[in-house]
Structure 1
Amino acid sequence: MPATHRGVTLVRRIVTLLTDFGTSDGYVGQMKGAILQRSGDCQLVDITHEIPPQNVGLAARALGSSWKHFPVGTVHLAVVDPGVGTDRDILAATVAGHFFVAPNNGLLSAIIEARPADEADRRIISVDVDRFFDSPTSNTFHGRDIMGPVAGMLAAGVPIAQLGEPFTGQLIELPSLVVGVDAEGVRTEVAAIDHFGNCSLATTFEFESWFATKRRVRAQLPSSTESVYLEVCRTYGQQPAGANVLLTGSQGEIEIAVVNGNAAEKFQLSVGDSVTLA
């Protein structure tokens, strides 16, 4: 006989986890335990726990590039929460058939606002913490004590409307990355650096259109007074090992890479660095 909650038949869902906790402590395990207490047979999938501490921007990017690869009905829990313990809202949202749980600090704004406000299944709830969490909660670990349990309840099939009231406040938005395109070229910035040292650049439609006409690009980087030349290619194997290249990476953004090498180390690039291409 399937389990029920307030007359609702509970179901088994996937729950994805994205945090800045790292894996050297017990934090991830504790949060998973809190989820499993509410949904013992859900499937937990780690997107990453290696977001740099308190870096909401990179967390939002990682979530934004990952959630669509999961089945409809998946619950996505994102906890990068510099404001933990303050009066900021904790949100539960449904967008395009997926569920999201995160603090209102910019983690979800791009995902939510990319969908029409009148979309039938787009709902945003401000979680009623006092109603669902009577026992003392840590002032510094809402991922374990509030958001994890909320994700577990959603994974068990508890209707999102039962978790609180409709959110009527202001969604916190993250600052836009700087991209400029004109006759002289492109001014952009390093938006993310992956495990391989590939440097994703802030990318717009205008940047993509400019890039599509190029075979070789001259780059001005912060670490050098001299220009660096980048070969435009479709994939790394089109150029020999050690070549400096510019291509569209797997996340859909234009990136600086070194074939079989590490562009971030070679060019001493960091997230936020300005890059000029011509």
Structure 2
Amino acid sequence: MAIITLTTDFGEKDHFVGAVKGAIYSEMEDAKIVDISHYVSPFHLHEAAYIIQNAYKSFPLGSIHIIGVDSELNPENKHIAVFMDGHYFVCADNGIISMLTSEIRPEKIVEINIHDRITSNFPVLDVFVKVAGHIARGGTLDVIGKNITQIKELTGLRPVISNQGSVIIGNVIYIDNYGNVVSNIPKKLFDEVGRGRDFIINARTAKFEKIYTHYSDAINFNQTVEKREEDGKRLALWNSSQFLELAIYKSNPTSVGGAASLFGLEFRDTVTVSFTTEI
């Protein structure tokens, strides 16, 4: 039986997550359900896309990923099922999938058309669960939808190259549980544009001239503990998803603060990488 994952903005206070799981078990008693996250900020498409983009690859091929964020059916928010990179995704066509397809081409996309058989105002519970159950039992996408080739794009949050290739202008796309700030600047783009040149990263009050691979790389462990610069240490690094991240070493947003609060950064704020002109 394929694994079914859940990524939603439901939180855990209400009945929604439990009801969805109950519906899945009603469809398949031996289902394997994994919660990726239920704490996506309400209706935050970019946040949901970042989370699922960086989680799904850790699951076995054939896994089914239900994304319950901004999923109400309306003329501008169709429901789709996508087969891509060996995985299935069931969600609304609201732009979330476009962040995944920027580098990986979907093998098949269908617009789900089983709504006339289901009466519901809770599509994740009914429509998405029915689709996931159909796929898990070996059913094909053609049975539950019609083929489409275009999906809605999330626009306005792709890095821009300017000043004759010497500047990358990116944006904050995610703030994690530690208050670390993730930009939409991938290492691959940085390397292509920078070509080994020196650089300065600017994001409001924060400025960096070095990018680390691990958080602890910023700490000089050759020094004694009392002489190390640890508490409040600012750093930039390539995170596990290979995006440029701005962080505070061992930050805690509820006590000492995190990069987002200490740097004054929020979603969509600008992160700029300026390279020296010499190559």
Q: Is TM more than 0.5 here?
A: yes
Deviation at 1:207, TM superposition (A): 2.1
Question: Aligned pair in 2 of structure 1 residues 22, 58: CA closer, same or farther (>3 Å)?
Answer: same
CA distance in 2, matches of 1:146, 1:96: 23
Superposition pairs for residues 44-59 of structure 1, below 5 Å?
44-59=33-48
Q: In the alignment, does 2:178 pair up with 1:196?
A: yes
Structure 1 pair 258/64, CA: closer, same or farther in 2 (3 Å)?
A: same
Do the aligned partners of residues 253 and 156 (structure 1) sit closer, same or farther apart at CA in structure 2, a change above 3 Å counting? same
**Which of 203, 208, 211 is the aligned partner of 2:191?**
208
1:108 corresponding residue in structure 2: 97
Displacement of 1:277 after TM fit? 3.5
Residues in 2 aligned to 1:229 and 1:67: alpha-carbon distance in whole angstroms: 31
Deviation at 1:103, TM superposition (A): 0.9
What is the CA deviation profile of residues 82-117 of structure 1, one whole-angstrom value per residue up to 9, with x for unaligned ones?
6x1313321112123211111111122343464446
How many Å separate the matches in 2 of 1:49 and 1:188? 27
Match of 2:233 among 243, 268, 276: 243
Bigger Cα displacement from structure 2, 203-212 vs 258-267: 203-212
SS in 1 for 2:96: coil
Q: Deviations over 1:200-227 (max 9, x none)?
A: 1111433234667477x644333x4xx6
The match for 2:259 is 263
- Distance in 1 between the 2:190 and 2:210 partners? 16
Q: Is the Cα contact below 8 Å between 1:191 and 1:202 reproduced in 2?
A: yes
CA distance in 2, matches of 1:211, 1:266: 28
User: What is the deviation of 1:161?
Assistant: 2.2
CA distance in 2, matches of 1:105, 1:66: 19
Deviations 1:176-201 (A, max 9, x none): 42333546543222121111111111
Which residue in 2 is equivalent to 1:187?
A: 169
8 Å CA contact 1:17, 1:47 repeated in 2 = yes
Deviation at 1:263, TM superposition (A): 1.0
Q: Which amino acid aligns with 2:158?
A: L
1:137 paired with 2:120, answer: yes
Q: Alignment partner of 1:53: what SS? A: coil
CA gap 1:210/1:114 in 2 versus in 1, 3 angstroms: closer
1:59 match: secondary structure: helix
- Structure 1: state its 5+ residue gaps: 1-11
Q: CA RMSD in A?
A: 2.4
- Give the aligned length: 253
**Structure 2 unmatched ranges of 5 or more:** 220-228, 252-257, 275-279
Q: State how far apart, in whole Å, the 2-side matches of 1:214 and 1:258 are.
A: 25
Whole-Å separation in 2 of the counterparts to 1:112 and 1:210: 22
Distance, in Å, in 2 between the alignment partners of 1:265 and 1:212 is 32
* Contact residue 181 and residue 207 of structure 1 kept, 8 A: no
Distance 2:37 2:14 in 1: 15
Query: 1:110 and 1:220, CA in 2 relative to 1: closer, same or farther beyond 3 A?
Result: closer
Deviations 1:25-47, CA, capped at 9 Å, x for gaps: 11111111122222221110111
Residue identity matched to 1:235? H
Distance in 2 of aligned mates of 1:263 and 1:115: 31
Name whichever of 177-186 and 72-81 sits farther off.
Answer: 177-186
8 Å Cα contact 1:36-1:42 kept in structure 2:
yes
Q: Percent identity?
A: 28
Cα gap change, 1:113 to 1:231, in 2 (>3 Å): closer
The alignment partner of 1:196 has SS state of: coil
What secondary structure does 1:108 align onto? helix
C-alpha distance in 1, partners of 2:174/2:125?
27
| Residue 23 (str. 1) matches residue 4 (str. 2) | no
TM-score if structure 2 supplies the norm length? 0.81
State the TM-score, normalized to the length of structure 1.
0.81
> Partners of 1:149 and 1:103 in 2: how far apart?
14
Give the SS at the match of 2:185: coil
SS of the residue 1:203 aligns to: strand
Whole-angstrom distance in 2 between the partners of 1:155 and 1:125:
16
